Every structure is written in C-alpha cells, then in structure tokens.
C-alpha cells in the first residue's frame, strides 16, 4: 500500500481532518452517540453580532429584502378569497460572489487567516466554491476547489461549468473530477499535501456564518411590518442553509416563525451514479442531498456536522424541476429579477404556501443567487434533452425525475408535496442505532440528544427505538 493510495489516505482521514480545521471534535463527545452541539458552536467565539462584524469587512451581508408584489398578486389570483400572503425575498445575489454562500465562506476564511493557514480548500460543485475563492482572494490566501464536474463520457453540467469559471475568475485552482468515490479521496489528498484549512460546508464556522441571514430577515421584516415573518422558506440540501437561518431567526427573537425546508424532488436518482449524474437539472437543493443529510447529517467531511436540519424544520416540502424553471421565469418577467436556479426552489414553494395563508401574513424566501449562462434554465433544459429527457408543458405532477420535466402551463398547477417528518425522524433514529457500537447500550444523555435531534419527547424516541430494535431498554 503506497503512501498516497486510496486505502492509505482514507485510513488517515481523521488525522487529516483534525489538522485541517483545528477542532478537537472528541472533546465534545458526551455519550455513545451524543455530543455537546451547542458547546461546539459556542466555542468558536462567533456570536451573531461578531459574525456580522466579520462579514461587514468584506461587504458580505446586509442584503436587501424585496417584496415581490406582482408575484404576490398572481398568487392571490389563484387563491381562495382572502388568501395569498405577502411574499418577500432576501436578495442574497447582492453578496460579493452572488449568493448566500459568501456568509459561510467569510467566517471560514477569516478563521483560516487568523490561524495562519496559507490557503483554504473546499470540496463543492456549487456556489460555495466561488464564495470561498472570492473571500480567499480578499484575504490574500491561496485557494483550491475540488469539484465533481462531469460523467465518465466527459459531459459536464453547464451549471457546474459556470461555477468552475467563477472560481477561476477569483484566482482559485479548480480540480475537476468525474462522479465517483474519488472526490473525498482527492480532497483529503489536497488537505494533506498543502496543509490548507478545510473550509467545509459543515464546520461550525460555515453554519454560524448563515445565522446572520436569519437574523437580518427577522429584523428587516419587523421594521417593515411591525412583526416577525410568519413563514421563512429555505432551499434545503446539506442542511446548513436551513440550520443557520433558523438559529439566526431565534437569536433575533423570531421563535414562532415557521421554518419550512424546500427541495426539488429527484427521487429515484442516485447522486453517486454515473448514469444519473447528468439526468438531474439541479446541482443542489434537491432530495438527493436533503434526504440523506436530514436522516443522517454526520455523513459529512468533518467528524460532526454543524448542520442539523431536523432540529430546526417545522415542515419539509418538495417541488418538481419544472415548477422551479417556471418560477424562475415568473421572477424574471413579473419582478425584473433574473436569479436562480437553486434559490427559486423555495420561491416555487412560497408561491403555493402563500395561498394557504391570509393576505396580511408574510412569507419570506430566504435567499436568491446570481445567474449566468450555465445557470440559466435554457442551458439546463438543453442538457436534459441531450440526455434523452422529455421536456414538455403540462401537469408537473406527471414529472418523472430522470425521464421527464413537465413545466406548468398555468400558475394554478403549482403545488407542494409534504414529506412525512415522522417518517424522516424514524429514518434518522434507524441510522443512529446502527452507529451504536456492537453490544453497547444507549446512555441517558444519548436519549436526551436523540430527542433534541428529532424534536420528539424522550419517551417517544424510546418507543421508536424499541420498535426498531425489538428490544426494551
């Protein structure tokens, strides 16, 4: 076994990860499964006001909250009488690299600089790579982004190619890989060989950086309407977006605001499949990430994921690819805002959810992102046709991920599908019990931890565990 073989590098992953983030995760372990999540977050030293101050230095945050008056009026046209809440969007495209990911990157790069790292690295095919590259450029740090970019035939997703261009524009080196298990291996090699800081999406710094987003939303809505928002909808993938936003809302006092996760339904497509990789038109914000990370967040590239979405979501809904493309065009043509595509996942859900609420209530879509040639719907739909996927108008409920994209013909056809959170919680607990060392029993602190993770009572958690294992504690 050579020093840089797959097996050798994977055997060293714990050591490499610890050196690359300089966090001793073991000190937060409190049980067989439990760890002190809040102490992990607090020990970083980044309260929401401190995070705001760090971000202000690089012009991150303090983005506008825009009322979508025309889209709200359209929602009211297809709503029952008296229904159709006001829809607002937090325009995160105003950040330096064009997305809310600048908030995540700002704290990570600031921490890397403070600790004396020569550079930063991240494994991402999304906007986060551009955000890290942008912040690294401002800090004078070197940057390497590792991307899963194309299938075995060399076909690249246009959205990922656009993000490669953005990263390189900011001076980063981009390693582009085909879909498969080599992504994590190559990322570990980069960290080991360079000694760079791991600007992971899942460190406390990354998630705490998004708290400022939720915090700003709460204060801006209160200033406009005299009250906190009734609903905030977050596009949900790995969980950091929703987690940070919900924590920020709470810190501002918006404790009763309903937090809804929204994902594109890509059920049936496997994200690590070479065959399926280019049969999806969204690189993030879809169920291929959101379901696995909700049911087991610690599948991340750090020992303990700071994004714990199940702790914070009040509701979880999905929309179809066609509905997001349709909403992207609505935003452009009715509001003069060309944004997307990922942020428009939550806007598609907001259009429907607003119809459930009274007209004086407020729904906030908590982020937008910049668009560009590769991120435009036409680029994605052209790739879909190239992959043999049918694209047509009709009822979006007839869509079949990987086979067809059905774009609504009328706004009344938009809908959301609710995910059964009880089932998601059971899946989480099933995954948790499988991680319990053989022959070990849960401690009281583990049961309390699982209750916090799932927002269930300890009694209910124990009942589910008894059912899953066929045992009583």
Q: Predicted confidence band at 301 (pLDDT cuts at 50, 70, 90)?
A: confident
Give the mean model confidence (pLDDT) for residues 296-324: 96
- Please tell me which residue, 343 or 247, carries the higher pLDDT value: 247
Residue 471 reports pLDDT greater than 80: no
The per-residue pLDDT for 250 is 98
The answer to whether the CB of 127 falls within 8 A of the CB of 369 is yes
The per-residue pLDDT for 440 is 85
Q: Predicted confidence band at 182 (pLDDT cuts at 50, 70, 90)?
A: confident
Residue 5 reports pLDDT greater than 60: yes
SS (H, E, C) 248-278: HHHHHCCCCCEEEEEEECCCCCCCCCCCCHH
CA separation (Å) from 148 to 153, 195, 299, 305, 428? Answer: 13, 22, 17, 21, 27
Give the mean model confidence (pLDDT) for residues 74-94: 98
CA separation (Å) from 463 to 84, 163, 437, 472? Answer: 40, 46, 20, 8
Using a pLDDT cut of 70, give the percent of the chain over it: 99
The per-residue pLDDT for 472 is 65
Give the mean model confidence (pLDDT) for residues 364-373: 92
- Please tell me which residue, 469 or 170, carries the higher pLDDT value: 170
Residue 1 reports pLDDT greater than 60: no
Give the mean model confidence (pLDDT) for residues 135-146: 98
> What is the DSSP code (8-state) at residue 223?
H
- Please, what is the average pLDDT of the chain? 95
The per-residue pLDDT for range 274-289, each reduced to its tens digit, is 888 989 988 889 999 9
Token digits of residue 183: 């992504």
Q: Predicted confidence band at 473 (pLDDT cuts at 50, 70, 90)?
A: low
Fold of the domain built from segment(s) 49-97+205-418: Rossmann fold (3.40.50)
Give the mean model confidence (pLDDT) for residues 241-250: 98
Query: First CA to last CA across the chain, in angstroms?
Result: 44
The per-residue pLDDT for range 384-426, each reduced to its tens digit, is 999 999 999 999 999 999 999 999 999 999 999 999 999 999 9
Q: DSSP H helical segments within 78-203, as ranges?
A: 101-114, 127-139, 158-169, 182-194
């Amino acid at each position: 076994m050579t020093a840089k073989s797959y097996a050798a590098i994977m055997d060293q992953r714990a050591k490499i990860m610890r050196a690359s983030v300089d966090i001793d995760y073991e000190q937060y372990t409190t049980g067989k499964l439990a760890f002190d999540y809040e102490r992990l977050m607090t020990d970083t030293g980044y309260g929401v006001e401190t995070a705001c101050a760090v971000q202000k230095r690089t012009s991150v945050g303090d983005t506008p909250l825009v009322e979508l008056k025309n889209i709200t009026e359209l929602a009211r046209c297809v709503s029952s009488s008296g229904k159709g809440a006001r829809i607002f969007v937090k325009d995160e495209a105003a950040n330096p690299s064009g997305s809310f990911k600048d908030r995540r990157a700002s704290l990570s790069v600031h921490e890397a600089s403070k600790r004396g790292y020569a550079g930063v690295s991240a494994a991402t095919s999304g906007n986060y790579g551009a955000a890290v590259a942008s912040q690294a450029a401002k800090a004078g740090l070197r940057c390497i982004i590792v991307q899963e970019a194309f299938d075995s035939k060399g076909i690249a997703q246009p959205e990922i190619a656009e993000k490669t261009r953005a990263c390189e524009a900011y001076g980063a080196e981009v390693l582009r890989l085909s879909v498969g298990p080599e992504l994590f291996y190559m990322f570990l090699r980069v960290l080991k060989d360079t000694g760079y800081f791991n600007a992971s999406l899942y460190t406390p710094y990354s998630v705490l950086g998004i708290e400022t987003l939720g915090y700003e939303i709460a204060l801006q809505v209160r200033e406009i309407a005299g009250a906190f928002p009734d609903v905030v909808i977050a596009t949900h993938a790995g969980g950091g977006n929703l987690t940070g936003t919900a924590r920020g809302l709470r810190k501002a006092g918006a404790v009763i605001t309903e937090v809804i996760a929204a994902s594109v339904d890509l059920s049936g497509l496997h994200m690590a499949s070479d065959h399926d990789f280019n049969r999806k038109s969204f690189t993030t914000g879809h169920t291929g990430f959101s379901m696995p990370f909700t049911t087991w967040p610690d599948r991340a590239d750090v020992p303990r994921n700071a994004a714990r979405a199940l702790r914070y979501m009040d509701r979880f809904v999905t929309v179809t690819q066609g509905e997001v493309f349709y909403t992207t065009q609505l935003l452009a043509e009715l509001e003069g805002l060309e944004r997307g595509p990922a942020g428009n996942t939550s806007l598609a859900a907001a259009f429907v959810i607003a119809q459930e609420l009274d007209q004086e209530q407020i729904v906030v879509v908590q982020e937008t992102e910049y668009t560009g040639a590769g991120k435009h719907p036409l680029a994605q739909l052209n790739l879909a046709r190239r992959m043999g996927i049918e694209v047509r108008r009709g009822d979006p409920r007839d869509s079949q991920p990987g086979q067809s994209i059905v774009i609504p013909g009328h706004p009344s056809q938009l809908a959301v599908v609710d995910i059964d959170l009880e089932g998601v919680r059971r899946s989480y607990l099933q995954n948790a019990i499988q991680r319990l060392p053989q022959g070990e029993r849960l401690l009281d602190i583990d049961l309390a931890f699982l209750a916090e993770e799932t927002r269930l009572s300890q009694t209910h958690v124990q009942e589910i565990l008894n059912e899953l294992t066929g045992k009583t504690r």
